[in-house]
Chains A and B, each alone.
Chain A
Amino acid sequence: MVSFEKSRNRTGVRLFAFFSMSALLLSTLISTGVRAQETTGVNPDTGGAVIKGKAPVAKDLLTVKLPKPKMFKLSNGVSVYVLEDHRVPAIHMELIMHAGMLFEPKPAVAETTAAMLTEGTQTRDYLKFAEYTADMGANVSSRAGADTATISVAGLSESTDALIALMTDVLLHPAFPADRLERIKYQQKSQIAQRRTNPAGLAAELASKVYYGGTPYARTSPTAAAITSLTSADLKGFHDAFYIPNGAILGVTGDVDIKSLHKKLDAALADWKPGGETATLPKAVFTPHEKTQIYLIDRPGSAQTVLQFGNLSVRQNDPDYIALTVANRILGGGSSGRLFQNIREQKGYTYGAYSNLSAGQWPGLWGASASVRTPVTEPATREFFREFDRLQDEPVAPSDLERAKRSIVGSFASTLESPEAILTRTLDLVQNNLPLDYWDTYPARIQAVTAEDIQRVARKYMGKNRIQLIAVGERSQIEEGLKKFGPVEIVNAAALAAGQP
């Protein structure tokens, strides 16, 4: 309904544009030992935010428990995780297979295969398929990520049978029609081109190359030539080899009855037989950078410089991950982070400065970024480095450490609102080989992080001389300033697009 009434947001503007990846969990309230802040006066660790301390804060932290999924296995070995949620008469299913880009024999195959699943099956052409799903109020989509391909199906729970049939149809009977393939190839090429007109899009593309170096994990967009060369046979071959039950998981949330769901899925997927080998992630040696290097993409006409700092982080099951989570929150999580408070709220160099941490089955990134007006590129860069240094040189004040922990644990409550968020978090645990009670013990592990831990992980991952900086902007005005922070390499955007190193 809300999306039906389009807001006039074309010209709408807001205080800040940041969508925090709030953690997830939830259901009851318990009080814990994390106390609300009680400091008053100017607080230098928040870049000068003034704490008057007069607002009423409930001292207890509302913590919540993640509902546990029920699990069963289909006869073909697929593990199904179900979160019953009867608040809304809807159902969401996510079928995740080891069919991502890391396994593709040639560039663009995985993404294109996933995109083609909804472009026509053996019994419905793409338009019939689209009409059928729209007429029942359903959504069916498919996409490939780095390691997985996912088929998502959502609709009204009264249509569960038909939704399962749709999922089965795109999974088992895609037709890969040649005319639709040409259409998808054209669309992919133009989307990549459009993405590169956005400076942040360019920076993100280069970041993958910079951080993951020569490993298969350095994913950039495929070249136009690679896309053009794809054939239906390439896609069918990939589909046969990788869209198999081996290692696949199916997550379901919504208004479902687990017993009848089990029967229906077993019947619908009876012909989906395991294949030969379960795909395993490519081996790679991940080498964090030890020497600061700056990469500059010239973007003539730019009003700002996009600055993207970072280095490799860790796997989610790494013992340092929890301390990194807290360190990242202190540095640049949300508008209460040091970067935002300093570089925006004190210096006025940017609309927003944040840090971010990712981690999965292979090392993720710890990075920080902002778009700053061209003339302050150098002083803004200096402030970033100052904040990185401060995190490793000075112990974080006890009150600030507590604030960060409290924000992480406290934000779980809102996740309970969304069954899909709970499902996503559950499936992430499964995919990252973490125990299903991971989130139950998470608050205690966050609480255990010390000021020394913060300094240690800051040195280890964002330490002096380790930061890689990607800048996108008007080269003639920013190159000299950037050279003060390290050697500058000019990256030709056309070469990037052509897939050259």
Chain B
Amino acid sequence: MFYTHSRIAAVGVAIAALCGAAACQADPPEAKARVPQIKFTDYRLSNGLRVILSVDHSAPVVAVSVTYNVGSRNEREGRTGFAHLFEHMMFQGSQNVGKGEHMLLVQDNGGTMNGTTNEDRTNYFETVPANQLDLALFLEADRMRALDISQTNLDNQRAVVQEEKRQSYDNQPYGGMSEAMQSMVYSSFGYKHTTIGSMADLNAATLEDVKSFFKTYYAPNNAAIAVVGDFKESEAKAKIEKYFGAIARQPDPPAPDLTETPLNGEKRKELTDPLAQLTRYEAAYKTVSGDNPDSYALTVLGTILSSGRTGRLNQDIVEKRIALNTNAGMQSSRGPSLFSFSATVPPGGNPAEVEKAFDAEIARIQTEGVTEAELKRALTQARARALVGGGGGRGGRGGGGGVQSVLGRANQLSQNAIFYNDPGRINTLLPRLEAVTAADIKRVAKQYLNKDNRAVVIDSPESEPGLPFFLAQATSGKAGQ
């Protein structure tokens, strides 16, 4: 539509050939394909363990995911990082499984495994060839029933976790930002501190802590297991009863006090960073939990702002070189979730300009709202992503490790059971997003994205760039514009 007549002449043949039936100047084809529903069975053992089974014979693999209702939000003062350290101890042996044997058994039989911890839950999972379902269930049951811990193994994993902290945070640019943000934006201790915790608290953890944490939280009535893949449901039910049925129920753990007080005014913190070469900006607004209806409108708003090159932030901020890159969106979880904006400030740029630009975007949403075209695009992308995958030609079934792989489905099912008492959210989230209207988006932007309800962290290089790597040259490139 921007070509001239002479250009038409030059490319006319090719255009005719490639446009054929689907004229390339026409509107894009409507994306009609629907996301298939995931069928599952949901029940409890007599000891309270919630079980979700979802059969899919399309590949000879099975995934097992156990989500425990414990995360760093359950930690007490002086023991930050403990829920995650404990997760590591779950691989150090149980009554019938030696230290490290879990990893060997799964991987040596063609499977993969891992465990993860965040504020809101701890999960353990494996994907194994379909004929090794017994192995996966046995390993999960044995450590739920009878963890075997020693001081030597605790000391070893304490060191490992401290290296994890160094590798993922302390030795990376911007590694301190999440801690600064959480400590400002939240008021409850549970959410105020990071999951990785502090070195001092990790050092303080004792064997007694491990024992008592296990007894309190690692009980069948405080967990959900999902099994997804190539198995017979009746057989899986029998196996789960066999391996997990005799594990003793425990008293329900105490609920953490997660009472949040409103921010009632902006909070700000500036950090300096010896490892950074460019300034990084982040603002976070405190919003609602993932099952609050407003979270769906906030989620769609995040996509409209930041999805790819068509997103508003790319158009208005990145393309104008106010920021090198931007991101925004809802980090939906069970607790009060954050709607965050982040950006890297370009060489010669200014975080105040970035903030001004973000604030202008928010103001525009609050006054003008979003267009129907933007809304439709965001929802089409959400639907297509579930079918096609994330991008770059990857993704789709199993490709992105998302909802389409057996593991992605198993993790979502067990987590949704723990978070929302609703494993079916795996099917209902998309329809809820599709029900969001432009008016909803305008309303939630007005309600939550206010200065009084945010915290801002700015992380700047310790010294002016000039160091090794390129920045002077990158700046001069800009000057050429």
Contacts and interface: CB of A to CB of B under 8 A. Distances in A.
B331 interface: yes
Contact of A185 (B277, B383, B477): B477
Interface string B443-470: 0000000000000000000100001111
Interface in B149-169: 155-164, 166-168
A70 B116 CA distance: 41
Nearest to A37: B108
> In this complex, which of B29, B120, B310, B330 has the most chain A Cβ atoms within 10 angstroms of its Cβ?
B29
23 contacts: A1-B429, A6-B330, A13-B195, A27-B60, A49-B103, A58-B131, A62-B60, A122-B3, A123-B3, A131-B377, A134-B307, A154-B388, A165-B24, A169-B18, A192-B470, A334-B107, A407-B110, A411-B112, A412-B110, A413-B110, A416-B59, A418-B397, A497-B468
Interface stretch (B205-213, B251-259, B405-413): B405-413
B138 interface: yes
A303 B166 contact: yes
Which 8 residue pairs are nearest across A and B when measured between Cβ atoms? A410-B110, A137-B384, A152-B393, A50-B98, A224-B473, A348-B159, A49-B100, A417-B398
Contact of A373 (B19, B166, B173, B426): B166
Interface residues of B, number: 162
Nearest to A182: B481
A261 interface: no
A137 B118 contact: no
Interface in A353-406: 371-373, 403-404, 406
Given A13-B117, A494-B467, A350 B163 contact: yes
B31 A410 contact: no
Given A13-B84, A127-B309, A135-B28, A55 B104 contact: no
Contact of B1 (A64, A128, A134): A128
A304 B163 contact: yes
B326 interface: no
Given A122-B7, A123-B24, A196-B468, A13 B168 contact: yes
Contacts of A449: none
Interface string B126-164: 010111101100110010000000000001111111111
A272 B27 CA distance: 25
Contact of A158 (B29, B60, B380): B29
Contacts of A16: 114
Given A55-B96, A270-B17, A414 B433 contact: no
Contact of B377 (A7, A135, A161, A197): A135
A158 B112 contact: no
A35 to B, nearest CB: 11
B366 interface: no
Contact of A224 (B157, B162, B170, B477): B477
Contact of A371 (B163, B429, B462): B163
A115 to B, nearest CB: 13
Interface string B160-185: 11111011101111000010001000
A345 B468 contact: no
A492 B468 CA distance: 8
A110 to B, nearest CB: 18
B310 A130 contact: yes
A51 B101 contact: yes
B333 A8 contact: yes
B470 A267 contact: no
Contacts of A150: 393
Contacts of A186: 321, 474, 477-478, 481
A341 B101 CA distance: 10
Interface string A285-302: 000000000000001111
Contacts of B138: 55-56
A190 B324 contact: yes
Nearest to A417: B398
A411 B110 contact: yes
Given A134-B310, A190-B346, A139 B412 contact: no
B397 A417 contact: yes
A371 B167 contact: yes
Contact of A410 (B21, B129, B168, B331): B129
B393 A153 contact: yes
A136 interface: yes
Given A50-B99, A497-B468, A88 B387 contact: yes
Most buried by A among B27, B115, B118: B118
